[in-house]
Amino acid sequence: MKTRFILHIIVAMAVTAAFSSPLFAEWTVTYLHPAGCNSSYPNGVSGGQQVGCAAGPATGNQNHASLWSGTAASWVDLNPAGCNSSYASGVSGGQQVGWAWGSATGGNYHASLWSSTAASWLDLNPTGYDHSEAYGISGGQQVGRAYGSATGGYQHASLWNGTAASWLDLNPTGFTESFARGISGGRQVGWAKGSATGNQNHASLWSGTAASWVNLHTFLDSRYAVSYATGIEVSGNDIWVAGYAFDDVRGYNEAVLWHNVIPEPSSFLALVCGLAGLTGTLRRRGK
């Protein structure tokens, strides 16, 4: 009996040691910094690709949109011909988004889309707009902002479907400005402000049109003055939105996570049918 007790102690100690061992918790590190550059930093990762920016002698000491596939040697300079500098902010499905500027863009920032090479660069800047930037990509759609004389210099939340001609203005009617920062499952998040928000930035959700705008700020406690939505994940029927809000009482920004569950169409239909049946029953009883 004593031997069995000692054996149990030894096993427990071995299991504890295994799970607390540095070997069990070890992380591998890959240095992505490319040769010939002084600085580099990634902004997004998806599907085995990483995107960001690098600068140094290899880029003419200008920031260049950059792509990696897990190693420093895999570095690809995405800076398009005719542009001085560029920046990659998001990646998904083998495509990258960001912006570029130079003679090819008239000296303005233009929202940009790549398909893993500099030569694949597409200028997403919409007609009539001076500047634009793309920040997020998912499911063949891109989000960001566009601004210029057409908007009185105010930024407008923007949605693209892979071309400049596909651009959609997500700025809600009557709003001064807006910004789209993240996208997933055909929904976009960011922020917007206008008279309807007391001219304060409010975390916002869209479903592909300006008219679909939802003010996420209304679900927060009253102590929050402004809010921003920066990321979204749509998984099945669940919508998760991450962002932050400024607490007027504490005087700090605080991380916020919104969550909603989209009802199944069949469940909604069952509810309608159930209500219709109940109404019929009540009418019969009334008679």
Kind and range of the H or E run holding 99: strand 95-101
Average pLDDT, the chain: 89
- pLDDT tens digits, one per residue of 3-42: 555 545 554 554 444 444 444 579 999 999 999 999 999 9
Looking at per-residue confidence, does 275 or 175 come out higher? Answer: 175
114 has pLDDT over 90: yes
Residue 273 has pLDDT above 80, yes or no: no
How far is residue 160's CA from residue 149's CA, in Å, rounded to a whole number?
A: 20
Query: Which of the pair, 49 or 21, is modelled with greater confidence?
Result: 49
Distance, CA of 226 to CA of 217 (rounded, Å): 8
Q: What is the arithmetic mean of pLDDT over 117-127?
A: 97
- In terms of pLDDT, which residue wins out, 97 or 278? 97
What confidence score (pLDDT) does residue 268 get? 44
pLDDT band at 264 (very low <50, low <70, confident <90, very high): confident
- Residue 61's alpha-carbon distances to 31, 171, 226, in angstroms, are 20, 36, 38
Average pLDDT score over residue span 81-91: 98
pLDDT of the residue at 192: 98
**Could you report the per-residue pLDDT of 147-174, keeping only the tens digit for each?**
999 899 999 999 999 999 999 999 999 9
* Tally of helices (H runs) and strands (E runs) in the chain: 2, 19
Distance CA 88, CA 69 (A): 14
Q: Kindly state the percentage of the chain with pLDDT values over 90.
A: 82
pLDDT 10s digits, 196-249: 999 999 999 999 999 999 999 999 999 999 999 999 999 999 999 999 999 999
Tokens 């102590």 sit on residue:
223
Element (H, E) at 10: helix 2-20
Phi-psi bin for 116: left (phi > 0), alpha (psi -120 to 50), beta? left
The pLDDT of 256-274, averaged and rounded, is 71
Residue % of the chain over a pLDDT of 70 = 84
